[in-house]
Chains A and B, each alone.
Chain A
Amino acid sequence: MRWFTLSWQAVAAIMLCVLAGFLGPMTQAESDALANPTATFAYPFLNSKSLIFDLILGAAAVSMLRIPRLAAAAALAIGAHVAAWMLLTGIAGFEGTALASYYIILAAAWLLAWRCVTVLSTFKPASRVASVALRLVIPLIFGIWILIIWEAIVRGAGIPFILLPPPSVIGVTIANSIPTLAADVNQTIFKSVVAGYVIGCGCGFLTAILADRVSFLRRGLLPIGNMVSALPIIGVAPIMVMWFGFDWQSKAAVVAIMTFFPMLVNTVAGLAEAGHMERDLMRTYASNYTQTLIKLRLPAAAPFIFNALKINSTLALIGAIVAEFFGTPTVGMGFRISTAVGRMDIDMVWAEIAVAALVGSVFYGLIALAERAATFWHPSVRGG
């Protein structure tokens, strides 16, 4: 029995480390310092360089030993992320001086993280909590590495922060401007989006019920609804701003129009979902239209309705923000983005984007949770 198993990521990481050691200095400052040994001035990675190399080489070697997979994953995670952390803190203040071996070491650390994710995704934990945790940890590592590579490249290559600020600067901007961001979220989300979303989805739902009752209406509305959902409805934003004024009402109108048709089309499709057997059963119980609708057909349509709610959650956010480009009171996420772009205040733009993405994900997540609670009987939720 062999006492180690090879993995190409770990082998490649070791080879990259060797290559980086061969190439020498990691930054221009270090190369200057080496060329002029009598002068003593600080350069990045003065003390931490060998530690970074040791971490990566050690983690790569340990991960290939025949040890429990959890231990290998832990070693990889620690090696990759501590090395990356030291790379990022080292380069700060020396932006734009990175040489090839800096990027090679970064790539080696990234390969270890990849190996870590590969090891983690072979786990099939028995307990429910562990499997949920695993489902969160794996994408989390991926997301962290997007941020790490972003930060490392922006700082390493010295990209002007005005073009692309690194995540750390964006984080500081968010922390410093919480009152502004809160006011924008309040205006855009809690006034425009929520009102428009409720009105749009509600009207779509009621129209769908009506269309279900009157088959003439259904045959007329469905093809139109399908066509409208391909149209660039967002274009009505300037018209709505002209009609309803600058405040949130016009944005709510845009959101309502955008969310109406997906809801209509999906609900009509969902109402056709209940099978003949079940409908016949309801008829043998002598239940009338309303009873059949509430007790059989709406529950059967629930997966479709939730699908529409999910699609609409994204559409609503986009609709409200874009509508704000056409005129707003001096608050709101779309307003803030367009004025911040005008002032080249790119940090603020990214802060708004991060907040919007967070709010959008929370919105989506809440609907997904509600779906799990409401359609617990559905095969896709039961997992059967």
Chain B
Amino acid sequence: MNRALENVVPVLTILAGLVVAWYVAAVLLNAPFQRDLDRRAGETPGTMEFIGKTLSQPKPTMPAPHQVAQNFFENTFLRKVTSNRSLVYNAWVTLSSTLLGFAFGTALGILIAVGVVHLTALDRSLMPWIIASQTIPILAIAPMVIVVFAAIGITGLIPKSLISTYLSFFPVAVGMVKGLRSPEIMHLDLMHTYNASSSQVFWKLRVPASVPYLFASMKVAVAASLVGAIVAELPTGAVAGIGAKLLSASYYSQTIDMWSALVAGSIVAALLVTVVGIAGRMVERSMGARPA
């Protein structure tokens, strides 16, 4: 209990500090515009009234936390789920391409890792390019990928999820290579004395040893996959999704909508990472791992 308190108190303090800083920033950033408005209206409000006004502008430079919270609540719980202004609907659109891309990416990453571990030629020739592949700002070419696919008649979910695939295969491939190589020489020698074939070594030693690495890298991959899905929606004029919502809000300077879309994206990210973490723990427990 005491331990838990010791860990929670600092986090809460810092979060509270952030909220306070947010309010101060909101007042400071919105003040010039509000002063301008008041001057034109010929009003001279008192300090408290002025601060209250800066925190309730319809299109503030920096929306206050309660405005974002209110907008988020309205668009999440009060709207029908099918409405295209509903954050739940938009989050679902983004989530579906995230998950598809994540599934492709994980499969591709595992495939590459298995190849790299078993073929020396692949290890020597492919690994440097896998690292170089991530220096390409794929997010920057996301629009073009989508335009090209649209030109050959593939639209909708698949092009978007390919961006997610590209971002998520890398952590999985790197983590799995490490994981499949993690068995110690002692264990490999033991398998050798059992006269195990290389497929037996793979299934009975390498795969179980790599599971913790797989889930650790899947956590990174699922977050990257969400970023890919959001950015893939940005420049293509996608009609729905968190990225599309960000873009349209930025066109019409609806800052509050923008922030609540960001909050929605962050919640989806946190949920995805948590789900992968829980799945990992369950798999490890069912495989007989002792809780650390």
Interface residues, chain A, CB within 8 Å of chain B?
114, 117-118, 120-122, 135, 138-139, 141-143, 146, 162-164, 216-221, 223-224, 227, 229-232, 234-236, 238-239, 241-243, 313-314, 317-318, 321-322, 325-326, 333-334, 337-338, 341, 344, 346, 349, 352-353, 356-357, 360-361, 363-364
Contacts and interface: CB of A to CB of B under 8 A. Distances in A.
Nearest to A241: B250
B125 A142 contact: yes
Given A230-B270, A337-B140, A357-B136, A242 B61 contact: yes
Contacts of A318: 137-140
B234 A325 contact: yes
B124 A138 contact: yes
Contact of B135 (A138, A333, A349, A360): A360
18 contacts: A118-B120, A135-B124, A139-B124, A142-B126, A163-B148, A163-B152, A220-B11, A229-B223, A232-B226, A232-B227, A232-B266, A317-B135, A326-B250, A337-B140, A337-B141, A337-B144, A341-B144, A360-B135
B265 A231 contact: yes
B151 interface: yes
A163 B151 contact: yes
Contacts of A234: 139, 227, 230-231
B176 to A, nearest CB: 19
Nearest to B262: A235
Contacts of A360: 135-137
A218 B6 CA distance: 12
Contacts of A231: 223, 265-266, 269-270
A117 B258 contact: no
A111 B73 CA distance: 59
A227 B137 contact: no
B269 A232 contact: yes
B230 A239 contact: no
B143 A230 contact: no
B135 A314 contact: yes
A163 B148 CA distance: 6
Contacts of B247: 238
Interface of A is mostly: helix
A321 B139 contact: yes
Interface string B117-142: 00011011111110110111111110
B137 A317 contact: yes
Nearest to A139: B128
Contacts of B255: 239, 242
A255 B143 CA distance: 21
Given A220-B10, A321-B139, A344-B147, 15 more contacts: A122-B120, A163-B148, A163-B152, A220-B11, A223-B7, A227-B270, A231-B266, A235-B262, A238-B249, A238-B250, A313-B135, A337-B140, A346-B148, A353-B137, A356-B136
Nearest to B18: A224
Nearest to B14: A220
Contact of A321 (B121, B137, B152, B253): B137
Nearest to A368: B131
A315 to B, nearest CB: 10
Contacts, number: 160
A304 to B, nearest CB: 17
A242 B250 contact: yes
Contacts of B10: 216-220
A341 B147 contact: yes
B87 interface: no
In this complex, the member of B124, B140, B230 whose beta carbon has the largest number of chain A beta carbons within 10 angstroms is B140
A121 B143 CA distance: 38
B135 A220 contact: no
Contact of A230 (B14, B123, B223): B223
Nearest to A356: B137
A112 B129 CA distance: 20
A235 B230 contact: yes
Contacts of B14: 217, 220-221, 224
Contact of B129 (A122, A139, A221, A341): A139
Contact of B61 (A114, A236, A243): A243
Given A231-B269, A341-B147, A314 B134 contact: yes
B99 interface: no
Contact of A236 (B140, B234, B262): B262
A337 B147 CA distance: 12
Contacts of B141: 337, 349, 353
